[in-house]
C-alpha cells in the first residue's frame, strides 16, 4: 500500500515579502559585481555588506516555511514536505549547475588557476554532483577557491537551506513558542560570538567544507531561520503605509553600508552585522508582513521581483566568475568595467527571467502534477 501526496491548497502570498526578496537578490548581484575591484579587501569593498542578503533570505525562509506548513502536518508526512521543497527549489539548482559548467572555461585567470587544467569530464562530473547539492571537499577543488559548489558558488546557501528544512521537519516544528524562543536566543548568542568576538568581525563565509567555514555557515543559518519561524508564529506585525518602498530603501542602505571600525576594531563591524541580522531584519519582515499591495504597479512589481529573486540568485554567479576573471586578468579599469557591469546585471536578470518562464515554471508545474496534486487516496 502506498499513499499519494495529499493535495494542499495554495495559501495567500505575502506580496511585499516576495518583493523584498527580489530587492535583496538584485543587491547581491551588484555586490558581487563590485567585488571584482575589491582586490579581496573586505574593508574597501563598495556595497560592503551585500552578503547579508543571505542572512535576510534565511529569515524569510523560516517565516515562509512556518506560514506554509505549520498547520498542515496533520495532512502530510515528512516525505510529503521534502517533496514539496524539492519541487520548489531543486529545478533551479540544476539549472545553476548547468550554466556554471557551460561558462566554466571562460573564467580562467590567475585567481582561478585550476580552471585551465581541469578536464572536461571532471567539469561534467562536478555539474552532475551540483545537481544533487552534495558538497565537495576542498581537496576536490576545480577552481581555486575551495568552494563546496565550485561551478555555482551561491548554491552553498541552498545546502544550508535544505539542512534547515530537514531540522524543521524532523522535530523542531514541534517546539512550543517558548522552546523556540530559547533556541532563537541561543542561536543569537552563537551569531554574536562569531561577529563580535570572532577573528574577522563579519559573517563572510560558509561556502567550504572545513570546520571554520561550517561554523560560519551554521551560525548564519540557525538564528535567522528559526527567528523567522518564531516571528511568524507570534503574529507580530508592524502596520505602516508604503511598507514595500520603506523596507526596500532600508535593505539597500543596510546592504550598501560601508565597513565599520576598520582592521583595528573588528568588533564594531561585527556588532553592526549582528544588529542587522538579530534586530533590523526581523523588523523589516514584520513591516513587510504587516502591509499589503492590491493591484496596479506595486502589485506587479512585487510579483515580478518575487518570481525573479530565486532564479537570479542561483544563476548569476557564473557571470560573476567570468567578470571577475576578465577584470583581474586584463587589469580592466573601473571606467571600462562599470558599463560592462551594468550590462552584466541586465544579462543576469534576462537569463534568470528566461529560466523562470521557459524552464522553472513548466518543470515545477509538471512535477507538481506528477508528484504533489493527487488527491489523498490509497492504491495497491
Is 192 a member of any domain?
yes
Is 276 a member of any domain?
yes
Confidence label for 375 from pLDDT (cuts 50, 70 and 90): very low
Say yes or no to pLDDT of 17 above 90. yes
Tens of pLDDT, residues 138-160: 999 999 999 999 999 999 999 99
Is 378 a member of any domain?
no
* Predicted pLDDT of residue 3: 47
Is 227 a member of any domain?
yes
* Predicted pLDDT of residue 379: 34
Is 8 a member of any domain?
no
Contact between residue 328 and residue 369 where contact means Cβ atoms under 8 Å apart? no
Tens of pLDDT, residues 69-128: 999 999 999 999 999 999 999 999 999 999 999 999 999 999 999 999 999 999 999 999
Contact between residue 219 and residue 190 where contact means Cβ atoms under 8 Å apart? yes
* Predicted pLDDT of residue 1: 33
Is 146 a member of any domain?
yes
Confidence label for 295 from pLDDT (cuts 50, 70 and 90): confident
Is 336 a member of any domain?
yes
Domain count within the chain? 1
* Predicted pLDDT of residue 10: 64
Query: Cell numbers at residue 365, please?
Result: 508545474
* Predicted pLDDT of residue 39: 85
Residue 323 domain boundaries: 13-373
Q: Mean pLDDT throughout 272-291? A: 97
Is 380 a member of any domain?
no
* Predicted pLDDT of residue 5: 60
Amino acid at each position: 500500500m502506498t499513499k499519494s501526496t495529499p493535495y494542499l491548497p495554495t495559501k495567500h502570498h505575502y506580496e511585499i515579502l516576495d518583493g523584498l526578496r527580489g530587492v535583496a537578490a538584485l543587491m547581491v548581484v551588484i555586490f558581487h559585481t563590485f567585488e571584482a575591484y575589491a582586490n579581496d579587501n573586505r574593508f574597501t569593498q563598495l556595497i560592503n555588506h551585500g552578503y547579508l542578503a543571505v542572512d535576510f533570505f534565511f529569515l524569510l525562509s523560516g517565516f515562509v516555511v512556518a506560514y506554509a506548513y505549520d498547520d498542515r502536518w496533520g495532512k502530510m508526512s515528512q516525505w510529503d514536505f521534502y517533496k514539496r521543497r524539492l519541487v520548489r527549489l531543486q529545478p533551479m539548482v540544476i539549472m545553476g549547475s548547468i550554466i556554471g559548467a557551460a561558462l566554466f572555461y571562460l573564467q580562467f585567470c590567475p585567481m582561478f588557476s585550476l580552471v585551465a587544467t581541469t578536464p572536461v569530464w571532471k567539469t561534467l562530473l562536478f555539474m552532475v554532483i551540483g545537481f544533487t547539492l552534495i558538497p565537495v571537499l576542498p581537496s576536490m577543488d576545480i577552481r581555486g577557491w575551495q568552494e563546496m559548489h565550485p561551478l555555482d558558488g551561491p548554491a552553498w546557501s541552498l545546502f544550508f537551506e535544505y539542512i534547515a528544512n530537514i531540522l524543521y521537519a524532523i522535530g523542531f516544528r514541534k517546539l512550543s513558542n517558548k522552546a523556540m524562543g530559547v533556541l532563537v536566543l541561543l542561536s543569537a548568542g552563537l551569531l554574536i560570538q562569531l561577529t563580535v568576538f570572532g577573528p574577522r568581525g563579519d559573517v563572510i563565509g560558509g561556502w567550504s567544507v572545513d570546520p571554520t567555514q561550517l561554523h560560519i555557515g551554521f551560525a548564519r543559518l540557525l538564528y535567522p531561520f528559526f527567528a523567522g519561524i518564531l516571528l511568524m508564529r507570534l503574529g507580530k506585525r508592524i502596520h505602516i503605509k508604503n511598507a514595500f518602498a520603506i523596507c526596500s530603501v532600508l535593505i539597500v542602505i543596510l546592504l550598501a553600508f560601508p565597513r565599520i571600525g576598520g582592521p583595528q576594531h573588528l568588533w564594531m563591524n561585527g556588532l553592526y552585522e549582528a544588529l542587522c541580522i538579530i534586530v533590523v531584519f526581523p523588523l523589516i519582515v514584520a513591516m513587510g508582513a504587516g502591509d499589503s499591495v492590491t493591484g496596479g504597479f506595486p502589485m506587479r512589481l512585487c510579483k515580478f521581483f518575487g518570481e525573479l529573486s530565486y532564479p537570479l540568485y542561483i544563476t548569476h554567479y557564473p557571470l560573476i566568475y567570468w567578470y571577475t576573471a576578465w577584470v583581474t586578468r586584463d587589469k580592466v579599469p573601473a571606467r571600462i568595467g562599470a558599463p560592462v557591469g551594468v550590462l552584466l546585471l541586465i544579462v543576469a536578470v534576462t537569463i534568470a527571467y528566461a529560466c523562470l518562464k521557459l524552464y522553472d515554471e513548466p518543470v515545477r508545474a509538471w512535477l507538481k502534477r506528477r508528484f504533489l496534486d493527487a488527491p489523498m487516496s490509497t492504491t495497491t
